[in-house]
Amino acid sequence: MAFGATHGSANHGRMWAIAIGVGIVGALVIAAAVASTAGNTVPESRAGVGEGTVTGYDISTVHYSLNASNPAAVDAVTFSVDEAPAEGSTLRIKLSSASTVWYTCTFSGTSVTCPTTTPAPTVDEVTELVVVAAQ
How confident is the model at residue 42, as a pLDDT?
Answer: 86
Q: For residue 107, name the pLDDT band (cuts at 50, 70, 90).
A: very high
Q: How far is CA 10 from CA 1, 16, 22, 24, in A?
A: 14, 10, 18, 21
Across the chain, mean pLDDT equals 86
Predicted confidence (pLDDT) per residue in 20-33, tens digit: 766 776 666 676 66
Predicted confidence (pLDDT) per residue in 40-54, tens digit: 888 999 888 999 898
**Average pLDDT over every residue of 52-79:** 95
